Structure 1
Amino acid sequence: MRPFIRAWFRSRLPWLVLLLLIFMSHFGFAFLFENLQAILTYQMSLLAVLALFFLGWDLVRDWRKYQLALRDQAVPSASSSPSERVLQTRLASVLEMQKADQVLARAKQEELLDYFTLWAHQIKTPLTASQLLVEELADKDSQQALEQELFKVGQYADMAMTYLRLESFHDDLVLAREDLHDLIREAVKKYAIFFIRQQIRLNLADFDKTIVTDCKWFLIILEQVLSNSVKYTRSGEIAIYVEGDDLVIADTGIGIQPGDLQRVFERGFSGFNGRVSQQSSGLGLYLSKIIADKLGHSLTLTSQIGEGTQVRIGLKQADLQLD
Structure 2
Amino acid sequence: MIKKFLIERCSWILLFLFTQLLFLFIAYIDSAIPLASVGYIIFLTALIFIIFLAVRYNIETPFYKSLKDWEGSLDLAGIAEARSPFEKIVKNSLADQTARQMKIYSKNRLALEQKKDDLLSWIHEVKTPMTTMHLMIERLDDEEAKARLAYEWLRIHLLLDQQLHQKRISFIENDLHVGKVPLEPLIVKEIKNLQSWCMQKGIGFEVDLQVDEVLSDDKWMAFIIRQLLTNAVKYSEASEIIIRSRMENGQTVLEVRDYGRGIDPKDLPRIFDKGFTSTTHPDQAATGMGLYLVKKAAKSLLIQIDVKSKPGAGTTFTLIFPKQNEFVSLTSM
TM-score range, shorter chain: 0.7 to 0.9
Gap regions ≥5 residues in structure 1: 10-18
Identity in percent: 26
The verdict on how the C-alpha distance between 1:60 and 1:240 changes in structure 2, with shifts beyond 3 A counting, is: same
Aligned counterparts of 1:79 and 1:135: Cα–Cα separation in 2: 73
Q: What amino acid does structure 2 have at the position aligned with 1:97?
A: R
Among 47, 56, 59, the alignment partner of 2:57 is: 59
1:79 deviates by: 4.9
Contact 2:82 2:91 in 1 (8 A): no
Match of 1:193? 196
Match of 2:37? 39
- Please state if 1:137 is matched with 2:140: yes
Match of 2:12? none
Q: Deviations over 1:55-104 (max 9, x none)?
A: 25523652353132343253557553457424431221122123122212
Match of 2:157? 154
Secondary structure of the equivalent of 1:235? coil
The verdict on how the C-alpha distance between 1:63 and 1:211 changes in structure 2, with shifts beyond 3 A counting, is: same
- Please state if 1:239 is matched with 2:242: yes
Paired residue total: 303
Residues 268-307 of structure 1 correspond to what in structure 2 (within 5 A)? 268-272=275-279, 275=282, 277-307=283-313
Match of 2:262? 255
The verdict on how the C-alpha distance between 1:139 and 1:252 changes in structure 2, with shifts beyond 3 A counting, is: same
1:294 deviates by: 1.3
Match of 1:266? 273
The verdict on how the C-alpha distance between 1:70 and 1:266 changes in structure 2, with shifts beyond 3 A counting, is: same
Secondary structure of the equivalent of 2:244? strand
Contact 1:237 1:252 in 2 (8 A): yes
CA RMSD of aligned residues (A): 3.2
1:249 deviates by: 0.4
Q: TM-score, normalised by structure 1?
A: 0.81
The verdict on how the C-alpha distance between 1:79 and 1:134 changes in structure 2, with shifts beyond 3 A counting, is: closer
The verdict on how the C-alpha distance between 1:319 and 1:81 changes in structure 2, with shifts beyond 3 A counting, is: farther
Q: What amino acid does structure 1 have at the position aligned with 2:232?
A: S
Match of 2:228? 225
Secondary structure of the equivalent of 1:280? coil
Aligned counterparts of 1:200 and 1:61: Cα–Cα separation in 2: 74
Aligned counterparts of 2:132 and 2:186: Cα–Cα separation in 1: 28
Gap regions ≥5 residues in structure 2: 10-15
Match of 1:69? 67
Q: Which has the higher helix share?
A: 1
